[in-house]
Amino acid sequence: MSLRALLIERIRQDGPLSLADYMAECLLHPVHGYYTTRDPLGAAGDFTTAPEISQMFGELIGLALAQAWMDEGRPTPFTLAELGPGRGTLMADLLRATRAVAGFHDAARIALVEASPALRRIQAETLSGHTPSWLDRVEDLPDRPLLLVANEFFDALPIRQFIRDGDLWRERLVGLENGKLAFGLGAATPQAALEHRLPDTRDGDLVELCAPAQTVTTELARRMAAHGGAGLIIDYGDWRSLGDTFQALHRHEMADPLASPGEADLTAHVDFEALALTAKNAGCAHTKLTPQGIFLERLGITARAQALVRGRTDKEAKSIIHAHRRLTHPEEMGNLFKVLGLFPAPAPPPPGLEP
């Protein structure tokens, strides 16, 4: 039975699904889920990410985290964690770039939070020579200093959508219309979690809520507040989300999110304000939200690109310059993608970011 047929059956029996339930089934269903069954990255897949564009990305993240580790007095041992490591490329580049940082590798216990068995296998190959452990959930991270990176992880966490109706909210649901999956609206109800959005929204506005993002951030922030560390959260989105950002990507093209359950990548923009407030409530400081291009420039991506170009053929040099542009230029990924740093004050913020 296809995932579409399974979902239709479930809706017939139990009624419409929240967007979060639909998204979770499409991405992580044990048999048909998008991430569970495949490697979605790269030219042959559905989308490309910053670490897959250039080694410079993971290298600079690595040096930033190593600096944060030194700034906090070189805690040993510490957890070096990545959420949703994809092919393991970022972690491999990070580890190569930090080889010369005295004591860093010896102190690091590598932890990869990854839901997809298919991607875990690829990560194990990419990181052969290291001994990472794989965790199902952020809750399983040990209680000790935590240095962490999450690139394009939070955008994959299931969201719910609500449309304002007076001072009440109607949830956007996935139901059936003529036997096909279709969007609908639930009854108008009060939503305590959206109380703070009443002042800045109007009748008919759509807002998104990502409960799992808040759970994850609380877990991270609690560990950093108690034991030290630093976190870099990189994703597309803005300080505060307004409007429908739920989207499907199939073979590098935008698609209808209901058209092929389990076959397309489903994402939503990250509401960084929600993450920042959650971190603060758990006792951890956060940095200003910073565009990826500015962050990478501050970390020295231009000097790194120049060093890599030296001694290369024209063709290789062009591709390095092209990658630099894609990662930093405001019309490419430089502005759409943002970086939020988490750190336990009074430690300084991670390099490249301001408190």
Site for ligand SAH in 215-244 (CB under 6 A): none
Place of tokens 């690109």: 305
Name, in order, each residue with C-beta under 8 angstroms of 283's C-beta and a sequence gap of 6 or more: 221, 222, 225, 226, 344
For residue 46, state whether it binds ligand SAH (rule: CB under 6 A). Answer: no
Give me the phi and psi of 38, to 5 degrees please. Answer: -150, 170
Task: List the Cα angle 242/243/247 in 5-degree steps.
Answer: 120
Site for ligand SAH in 17-36 (CB under 6 A): 27, 35
With respect to ligand SAH, which residue has the nearer C-beta, 206 or 213? 213
Minimum distance, C-beta of residue 85 to ligand SAH, in the bound complex (Å): 6
For residue 51, state whether it binds ligand SAH (rule: CB under 6 A). Answer: yes
With respect to ligand SAH, which residue has the nearer C-beta, 138 or 173? 138
**Range in contact with ligand SAH (rule: CB under 6 A) among 3-11, 109-117, 178-186, 200-208:** 109-117
With respect to ligand SAH, which residue has the nearer C-beta, 104 or 153? 153
- State how far the Cα of 298 lies from the Cα of 311, in Å rounded to an integer: 25
Query: Are 105 and 98 in contact, with CB atoms under 8 Å apart?
Result: yes
Tokens in use for 140? Answer: 């399983």
Choose, by CB under 6 A, the member of 58, 85, 341, 349 that binds ligand SAH.
Answer: 85
Q: Is 269 left (phi over 0), alpha (psi -120 to 50) or beta?
A: beta
Q: Where are the extended beta strands (E) located within the chain?
A: 17-18, 78-83, 108-113, 133-135, 146-151, 160-165, 168-177, 180-189, 206-209, 229-238, 247-250, 253-255, 265-267, 270-271, 285-286, 290-291, 337-343
With respect to ligand SAH, which residue has the nearer C-beta, 125 or 177? 125
- State how far the Cα of 347 lies from the Cα of 136, in Å rounded to an integer: 29
Beginning with the edge strand found earlier in the chain, give each strand of the sheet holding 247-250 in spatial order: 253-255, 247-250, 265-267
Minimum distance, C-beta of residue 92 to ligand SAH, in the bound complex (Å): 11
Q: Residue type for 346, please?
A: P
Helix, strand or coil for residue 91? helix
With respect to ligand SAH, which residue has the nearer C-beta, 88 or 228? 88
Minimum distance, C-beta of residue 155 to ligand SAH, in the bound complex (Å): 8
With respect to ligand SAH, which residue has the nearer C-beta, 35 or 104? 35
For residue 52, state whether it binds ligand SAH (rule: CB under 6 A). Answer: yes
- State how far the Cα of 147 lies from the Cα of 202, in Å rounded to an integer: 40
With respect to ligand SAH, which residue has the nearer C-beta, 81 or 113? 113
For residue 301, state whether it binds ligand SAH (rule: CB under 6 A). Answer: no
Q: Which residue is nearest to ligand SAH (CB)?
A: 84
**Range in contact with ligand SAH (rule: CB under 6 A) among 152-160, 174-182, 224-232, 268-276:** 152-160
Query: Are 269 and 161 in contact, with CB atoms under 8 Å apart?
Result: no
With respect to ligand SAH, which residue has the nearer C-beta, 119 or 233? 119
For residue 113, state whether it binds ligand SAH (rule: CB under 6 A). Answer: yes
Size of residue set near ligand SAH by CB under 6 A: 19
Q: Is 295 left (phi over 0), alpha (psi -120 to 50) or beta?
A: alpha
Minimum distance, C-beta of residue 119 to ligand SAH, in the bound complex (Å): 5
For residue 163, state whether it binds ligand SAH (rule: CB under 6 A). Answer: no
Choose, by CB under 6 A, the member of 127, 156, 305, 333 that binds ligand SAH.
Answer: 156
Return residues touching ligand SAH (CB under 6 A): 27, 35, 41, 49, 51-52, 84-86, 90, 113-116, 119, 151-153, 156
